[in-house]
């Protein structure tokens, strides 16, 4: 028997023994134990979710800054460079506090920035210009 097989057998034996011990505990005590474990883990799970959200936000920011995405407005034919994604901090009739926005800039000399709600930006009125079709940046 190889070491790996011996370890597998020992792990299975331990798991079976723990399952038997767990089944021997009355159901009421099992429920109390589960509730205690949940109470202990709950703050950590919330913190882990917050950390995961922050990691996702930073990853999105990193990815969007590495290669700027370019878009074409289908109706106007204008081209825009996506600056990034933002969270709205305001309350209006159409947009609410916390809504996600796309911030973009036109290929115009004035350099004006624009923002639209993500849903509106991604509803088909803009189409992404793929990197292979974009002109190369001059160095």
Is pLDDT at 70 greater than 80 in this prediction? yes
Number of domains in the chain: 2
| Residue 59 resides in a domain | yes
Same domain, 87 and 56: no
Please say which residue of 63, 86, 103 terminates a domain. Answer: 63
Report, as an integer, the average pLDDT of 112-134: 79
pTM over the 0.75 mark: no
Same domain, 59 and 73: no
| Residue 110 resides in a domain | yes
The token duo for 62 is 């990193």
Please say which residue of 43, 63, 83 terminates a domain. Answer: 63
- CA 27, CA 89: separation in Å to the nearest integer? 49
Q: To the nearest whole number, what is the mean pLDDT of the chain?
A: 77
Range of the domain at 83: 68-133
| Residue 124 resides in a domain | yes
Same domain, 44 and 79: no
- CA 46, CA 38: separation in Å to the nearest integer? 12
| Residue 92 resides in a domain | yes
Same domain, 89 and 35: no
**Each residue of 29-69: pLDDT tens digit?**
778 877 888 788 777 777 778 878 877 877 776 665 567 78
Same domain, 21 and 59: yes
Please tell me the predicted confidence (pLDDT) of residue 29: 79
Q: DSSP secondary structure string, the chain? A: --HHHHHHHHHHHHHHHHHHHHHHS-HHHHHHHHHHHHHHHHHHHHHHHHHHHHHHHHHHHHHHHHS--EEEETTT--EEEEEEEEE-----SS--TT-EEEEEEESSTT--EEEEEHHHHTTTTEEEE-GGGSPPPP-
Same domain, 112 and 79: yes
Using pLDDT thresholds of 50, 70 and 90, give the confidence band for residue 139: very low
Same domain, 72 and 128: yes
Is pLDDT at 117 greater than 80 in this prediction? yes
């Amino acid at each position: 028997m190889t070491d790996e097989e011996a370890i597998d057998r020992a792990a299975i034996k331990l798991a079976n023994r723990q399952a038997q011990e767990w089944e021997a505990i009355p159901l009421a005590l099992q429920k109390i134990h589960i509730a205690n474990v949940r109470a202990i883990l709950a703050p950590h799970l919330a913190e882990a979710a917050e950390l995961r959200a922050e990691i996702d936000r930073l990853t999105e920011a990193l990815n969007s800054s590495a290669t700027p995405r370019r878009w074409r407005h289908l109706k106007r034919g204008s081209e825009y460079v996506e600056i990034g994604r933002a969270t709205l901090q305001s309350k209006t009739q159409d947009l609410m506090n916390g809504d996600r926005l796309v911030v973009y800039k036109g290929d115009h000399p004035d350099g004006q920035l624009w923002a639209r709600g993500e849903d509106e930006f991604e509803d088909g009125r803009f189409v992404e210009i793929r990197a292979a079709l974009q002109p190369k940046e001059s160095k």
